[in-house]
């Protein structure tokens, strides 16, 4: 491989990029727009749950329980309904997610030391949100019941009530339980995969459609020199996009960056190299800009969004789908990014993901050069 010929291809591709300012602006602005849009719009937090209350007991105890819901940031008490029909109408119109029903006799049962029942009506059309809301309700009601039991015990015995088990929770890596800390690192992998694959998926196909590929093939250029030369120009854009995504994630979304910057840079460059080579492989295989663009979208966005663990946990997927996820490099890069950002871990723990990521980049590079060699032959 001749470095001078590779540099000449890179210069040619760089001039093509600079002479198309609209494409250059899109390549730089699109990642910034995507991370801002996804970062603000895509949230897994469940709070301010719309709640409608029907208090048939109208007692100090029932009002105290309602005040607990009002004082929690997880619930937004919209008002008091006139019974089950009002709650049903609110759920049908998507204005209410939770209905709290306190029947008559609630305070009487509490003061008599008997079990008092509270009914919760949840909109189960969104099962994930309903499950999380149910967990919040159970925690709040159980805490309220424990306080009532402690008060009754003090009045009856004159001694303080202490539960047999005192749980002490400690949340590691994301103590505030903010979904942005989980989503934004995965967004960096998603954006890099999409941008890299789309940028280079048009390179070889454009040469064929413009009739300049024959001129390249008539030169002493080797397939590896063509791939590295064309990729290096877009690699610079990819590095800028990576820096923009990291700066936005840390400065605007305040995602903690606990790991090594050097390790983050090396793994990002390895992933970027593989993604760019994948775009060149698609471009060389299709020879059509339209088809290469469509294949780039299908092979980058959908797997990166659905099968990388970016939003949906891979452990919850069917076994067959879990096996399929090993084919896509975003799975490994998302794990690396979350480990670097949130846990502060490095190569000693993430070595397997790094090895697989580098192996993927090498295999795709070899496949792209082999495809060009077949074209030249």
Q: pTM to 2 decimals?
A: 0.79
**193: Cβ contacts below 8 Å, ≥ 6 apart:** 271, 275, 300, 301, 304, 329, 330
What is 49-157's CATH superfamily? abc type-2 transporter like domain (3.40.1710.10)
Q: Can you give the pLDDT at residue 282?
A: 83
Give the side-chain half-sphere CA count within 13 A for 128.
7
Q: How confident is the model at residue 218, as a pLDDT?
A: 67
- Position 357 scores a pLDDT of 92
Tokens of 222: 């080797």
Contact assessment for residue 123 and residue 91, using Cβ atoms and an 8 Å cutoff:
yes
Q: Name residue, tokens 């495809």.
A: 371
What pLDDT does residue 159 have? Answer: 65
Q: What is the pLDDT of residue 352?
A: 92
| CA 279 from centroid of its chain's CA atoms | 23
Tens-of-pLDDT digits for all 377 residues of the chain?
677 777 777 787 777 777 777 777 777 787 788 888 877 777 777 778 898 888 888 888 888 888 888 888 888 888 877 778 888 888 888 888 888 888 888 888 777 777 778 888 888 887 778 888 888 888 888 888 777 777 666 666 666 666 667 677 787 887 777 778 888 888 888 888 888 777 777 777 777 777 676 666 667 778 777 778 878 888 888 888 888 888 988 888 888 889 899 999 999 999 999 888 888 888 878 877 778 778 887 888 788 888 888 877 888 888 898 898 898 899 999 999 999 998 889 899 999 999 999 999 999 989 888 887 765 55
Domain ranges of the chain: 22-43+178-376, 49-157
């Amino acid at each position: 491989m001749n470095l001078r010929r590779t540099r000449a291809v890179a210069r040619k591709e760089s001039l093509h990029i600079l002479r198309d300012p609209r494409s250059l602006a899109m390549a730089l602005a699109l990642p910034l727009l995507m991370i801002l849009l996804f970062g603000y719009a895509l949230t897994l937090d469940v709070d301010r749950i719309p709640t409608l209350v029907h208090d048939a007991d109208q007692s100090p105890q029932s009002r105290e329980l309602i005040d607990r819901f009002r004082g929690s940031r997880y619930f937004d008490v919209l008002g008091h309904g006139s019974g089950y029909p009002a709650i049903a109408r609110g759920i049908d119109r998507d204005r209410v997610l939770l209905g709290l029903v306190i029947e008559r006799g609630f305070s009487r049962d509490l003061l008599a030391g008997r079990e008092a029942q509270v009914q919760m009506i949840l909109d189960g059309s969104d099962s994930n949100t309903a499950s999380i809301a149910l967990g919040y309700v159970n925690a709040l009601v159980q805490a309220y019941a424990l306080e009532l039991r402690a008060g009754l015990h003090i009045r009856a015995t004159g001694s303080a009530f202490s539960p047999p088990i005192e749980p002490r929770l400690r949340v590691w890596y994301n103590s505030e339980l903010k979904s942005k800390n989980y989503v934004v690192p995965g967004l960096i992998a998603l954006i890099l995969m999409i941008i890299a694959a789309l940028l280079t998926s048009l390179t070889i196909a454009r040469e064929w459609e413009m009739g300049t590929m024959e001129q390249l093939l008539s030169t002493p250029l080797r397939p590896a020199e063509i791939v590295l030369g064309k990729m290096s120009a877009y690699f610079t854009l990819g590095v800028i996009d990576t820096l923009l995504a990291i700066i936005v994630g840390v400065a605007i979304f305040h995602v903690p960056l606990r790991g090594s910057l050097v390790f983050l840079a090396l793994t990002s460059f390895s992933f970027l190299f593989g993604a760019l080579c994948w775009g060149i492989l698609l471009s060389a295989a299709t020879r059509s800009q339209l088809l290469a663009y469509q294949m780039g979208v299908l092979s980058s966005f959908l797997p990166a969004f659905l099968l990388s663990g970016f939003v949906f946990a891979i452990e919850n997927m069917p076994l067959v789908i879990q096996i399929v996820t090993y084919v896509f490099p975003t799975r490994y890069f998302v794990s690396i990014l979350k480990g670097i950002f949130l846990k502060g871990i490095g190569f000693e723990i993430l070595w397997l993901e790094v090895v697989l990521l580098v192996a993927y980049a090498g295999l795709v590079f070899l496949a792209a050069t082999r495809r060009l060699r077949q074209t030249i032959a």
